[in-house]
Structures are given as structure tokens and as C-alpha cells.
Amino acid sequence: MSGLSIAQISNPSQLYKSGLVATCANCHGTNGNGVVGASIPLINTFTSEQMLTQLQAYKNGSREGTIMPQLAKGYTDEQLETIALQLGKKR
Amino acid sequence: MNRRHFLGQSVAGLGLLAGFSGQARANLQKAEILVIGGGYGGATAAKYLRLFSNNTARVTLIEPNAAFLSCPLSNLVVGGSRTMADITSSYDNLSKRHGVKVIQDSVVSIDPDKKTAKLASGKILSYDKAVVSPGVSLIMSSIEGLAQANKEGVTLQAWKAGSETVTLHKQLAAMRDGGVFAISIPEAPYRCPPGPYERACQVANYLKQHKPKSKVLILDANQDVTSKGALFKKVWAEQYPGLIDYRPRNNVIAVDAKTKTLKVEVEDDVKADVLNILPAMSAGAIAVNTGLANSNGRWVNVNYLNFESTAQKDIHVLGDSIQVAPAMPKSGHMANQHAKVAAAAIVAELSGWEVNPAPVLTNTCYSFVNERQTIHVASVHQYTPEKKTFEPVHGAGGLSPAPSTLEGIYAWGWAHNIWADSLA
């Protein structure tokens, strides 16, 4: 049911944020719910804080990887924060 | 209500919870949105139009194929290490889970003035917004004798996953040891820049194991390998020594089906056993025939903020059919990303909102160099308002350092996730 788990959108800002988050979905699943067992690391277990730490580490080069270090560098810090806030598991 | 609880709601019930105000919400709900083509672009657009509208928009997808056939990874079927079943997905979840009306048919014409689309079955559908995502058309007339040779089954293109993909593998399997498998590449832009070079690897991988006296001949109209060049050349030298003959600036202009001979501009004629000839490409036929291809008559210029055609209002065009922004590849991943920007923009417009002024696109593309290892290219594209286009972010993106088995595993993970993101 991953497809239905997108948050309700009731204003433009929510729509833009959902659009930004959707750039991750090709590899990590719609709204961060990746296909279980499909080999790409699942990100839906992270809190927003944990996710932001990882994204920043990819961006500043302190964490290695294959695709993510290259993609994280293409987003602004603000965009990474939005992604982490939207996709991170709420405590 | 927590998110998990929320999942239990019925699709119909979701719309009632939407926070859209008055008239705007009514416009979104009553609009007929027609998505033409169910590939990476169209299928994603249909799903995300529903998601971004809180499942209120009325979305119909017209697609001639009964199932989704992936072009990415189809070269593994040509090479024989995978089957069509591995790259085929169902459209069922688009209707069952997301409430998209899926019609198996093809659109034969669009009337932009009346805002209608005519289907092959004769049915005429009205639209308020049309999303056109027809992929590419192969311009068979660009190479003399090609249409006839294809008709006779002598030269296949297999540039859209389907029966030709399987038949091309059969031609490879039936080729004599010592034979030549020729792949010709048109001048860029064409669908899937690294695709022909990946195919050369897959064919060579097969030949290495089964017919080692044979050769892959790549006749490339371009100056050099158009994508992942250094990586591909290293693979050819190290994994397939003597098996791949790469010839840049070799533009195939004619094919003789009877003698299996290719005429190459300025160069000598070439004979081969299997002829996999890729001609120049254009936007999909329905886009061209609707008068949307206003870039050299081949590609569709769009407003990159909403992917609306600059030739016709309320027709949004996605994927391989568009005139690309700088360094934007014609890839399935990119089509999926176009679709999300377009879907959000259409929902915004129908809600009476400004469209997102700063959309972002990414691209990730894996190429298999044998049955296990891949190489990748990735990029991020931010919208630049001053230039009204997407530009790749300097310092972001890049290539694999070398072929990788881990990335080969990730490539299948990418595939299963993007298929789910587009279809499930």
C-alpha cells in the first residue's frame, strides 16, 4: 500500500515539498517506502534527524557511497532539510 | 490519525478529507485528465496526479500494451541472461490502488481545439488536461532500405522493449560462430544515450561464452561514445578484447536486406550477419502528428515548470519526446522525474495555485557491462529561473569509478523500486 501513504496536500507549500521528496522515490520508493528485499537501502526506518545527518554527510564527503554522494551534492542544504523532515519517521 | 491508520481509508474516502478550498477543489475534481502513453513518464504521471490531488483528480491512462515492458534492462534479454518476464510489470495497481482508469488502446489523433483524443477503437475522449508521453518514433526513412529490411525481419531495432527484443536475441543465438553482429547508432539526441554501448557489451558477453570467433561491430555516427565513454572503452579492452570493433564517425545511410550490407557515409560498405540498425529518432508519432514537435520538427519544446507544450495549451509532454534542457538525458528515470513535476504543476494549476517555481530533477542510469556488473552515471538538475531551463548542478553527479558487482545488485534494486514508484 506504499502508494497511498503520501501525506495529505492542502496548500502549495505541501505540494512543492511532496514534489521535492518525490525526486528520491525512483530509487527509495514512493514516499520513502522502498521495495523490501530490492537491495537498495531502505530509508523508512530513519528519523528526520538521522536522515539529515546522513544526507549532510553524503553532501560534505564524510560518508562514502555509490550514487548518494553524487546526488546529495546537487541539493541545497534547505532542500535536504525538507526531504529529511518529510521522509523521516516521526517520533 | 496516524499514517498507518490513514492507509486503511478507502480511495474514495480520501478525497473527502482534502483541504482544498471551494471552487479550486471543484475544478480539480471535475477536470478530465488524459494520460497518453504508459511508459516511465505516463504511468508515473497518472499515479502522481492521483497522489498529489489527494486521489480526487479524474485520471485516465491510455496505453496499447497489456503490461509495462521496461526498456532499461532489456539489453540483458538481447544478450540472453534475462527474459522478458524479468522486465515486465502489471498495470493493475494503477487502477486497483490508485483509482486510475486504465484503457488498453492507442490514441490515433488529438484535436487540441476541441480538446479531444480519438482512440484506435473509434472512441473519442474529452480532456481538460492531456499528458502526452509517447516515447520516441524511429525515423525509418532516414536510412535507405531500412523500412523494407525491418518488414522482412532482416534488420530489427529492438529500441522499444517487446517482441523485437526477443527476436534479436534469437538472431544472435542463431548467428554462426565467426559472424558479425552490427549495431549502428544515430547522431545524438536519441533515446537512452548509453543503451547501444550497453547492448554491445551484452552481445559481446554472449559471444565470449558461446561464439568466441565472432565480433560486435559498432558503427557510431557520433564523434565518440556519447555516454560513459571512458568506462565503456575500458570494459571493451579488458573484458572483451578482440570482440568489439568500435568505429566512431561511421554514419549508416543505407541497408541492403538481401546481401546484409550496410552503406556507411564516406567509408567502405560493411557486411554483417545480424543487423541491429538504430535510425534517427523523434518525438513519438502522436506528438509529431499533433503538431507539437516544434523543435526542428523532431522534438517538443516545453515550459520546464509544468512541461506544457509551447505549441498547444493544456497538453503537457514528458520524457523522451521533449527537447531536452542542457545535459538532460532521454532516460526512463528522467521521464519519471518529468512526470512528477508535471503532475504537481497540473494539480497546482487546477487548484488555482502558482506552480512550483523551483522544481528539481535527478537522473540515475545503470548500464550492465556483463550479466553482473554495472557502471552508472548520475546527475541533479535544478531549475534556473533566469534562463527558464533546468541546468545540471556543477560538482554534483558523476560516474562510477569502475564496473561494480555491488552496483549491479543496486541496479536491479533501482529497477524494482522505479517500477513500483511508477506503477504500484
Q: What is the ipTM of this complex?
A: 0.95
Strands (E), B261-397: 261-264, 270-271, 274-277, 281-283, 302-303, 308-309, 315-317, 360-368, 374-384, 389-392
Q: Name all domains of chain A by residue range, CATH numbers in brackets.
A: 6-87 (1.10.760.10)
Query: CB burial class (10 A; 0-12, 13-18, 19+) of residue A50?
Result: middle
> Residue B94 in contact with residue B102, Cβ under 8 Å?
yes
Contact A11 B19 (CB under 8 A): yes
Residue A91: predicted pLDDT: 61
Give mean pLDDT, residues B216-240: 98
Nearest-CA distance B7 → chain A (Å): 6
The CB-side HSE value for B320 (13 A sphere, CA atoms) comes to 27
Q: Which residues pair with B181 in a beta bridge?
A: B216, B274
Give the Cα separation of B231 and A19 in Å (integer).
Answer: 33
Closest alpha carbon to A75 in A48, A91, A52: A52
B421, B422, B423: best to mutate for the A interface, most A CBs within 10 A: B421
For residue B242, give the 3-state DSSP assignment.
coil
For residue B422, give the 3-state DSSP assignment.
helix
C-alpha grid cell, residue B157: 531495432
> Residue B117 in contact with residue B34, Cβ under 8 Å?
yes
Give mean pLDDT, residues B156-181: 98
Contact B393 A26 (CB under 8 A): no
Are β-strands B261-264 and B270-271 bridged in parallel, bridged antiparallel, or unpaired?
Answer: antiparallel
Other C-beta atoms lying within 10 Å of the C-beta of residue B1 = 9
The CB-side HSE value for B68 (13 A sphere, CA atoms) comes to 28
Q: What are phi and psi of B359, to 5 degrees?
A: -75, 160
Residues of A with CB under 8 A from a CB of B: 1-12, 15-16, 18-20, 22-23, 25-30, 34-35, 38-40, 66-67, 70-75, 79
pLDDT in tens, B86-120: 999 999 999 999 999 999 999 999 999 999 999 99
Listed in sequence order, the DSSP H helices in B18-137 are 22-30, 40-52, 74-79, 92-96
Give the Cα separation of B198 and B234 in Å (integer).
Answer: 13
Q: Which residue has the cell 529500441?
A: B159
pLDDT in tens, A21-79: 999 999 999 999 999 999 999 999 999 999 999 999 999 999 999 999 999 999 999 99
A60, A66, A79: best to mutate for the B interface, most B CBs within 10 A: A66
A-to-B residue pairs, Cβ atoms closer than 8 angstroms: 152
Residue B20: predicted pLDDT: 52
| Mean per-residue pLDDT of chain B | 94
Q: Give the residue on A whose Cα is nearest the Cα of B54.
A: A8
CA A88 to chain centre: 7
Helix (H) or strand (E) holding B137: strand B136-138
pLDDT in tens, B5-22: 433 343 333 444 444 556
pLDDT in tens, B270-307: 999 999 999 999 999 999 999 999 999 999 999 999 99
> Residue B28 in contact with residue B350, Cβ under 8 Å?
yes
Give mean pLDDT, residues B163-171: 98
> Residue B365 in contact with residue A28, Cβ under 8 Å?
no
Cα dist from B97 to B9, B14, B92, whole Å: 11, 12, 8
Q: A74: which chain B residues are within 8 Å (Cβ-Cβ)? A: 360, 362, 379-382, 392-393, 396-397
Q: What are phi and psi of B223, to 5 degrees?
A: -65, -30
Q: A38: which chain B residues are within 8 Å (Cβ-Cβ)? A: 412-413, 416-417
Longest dimension (CA), chain B: 72
Contact B364 A16 (CB under 8 A): no
C-alpha grid cell, residue B304: 520546464
Give the Cα separation of B26 and B122 in Å (integer).
Answer: 30
In one-letter notation, the amino acid at residue B317 is V
Confidence at A8, pLDDT banded by 50, 70, 90: confident
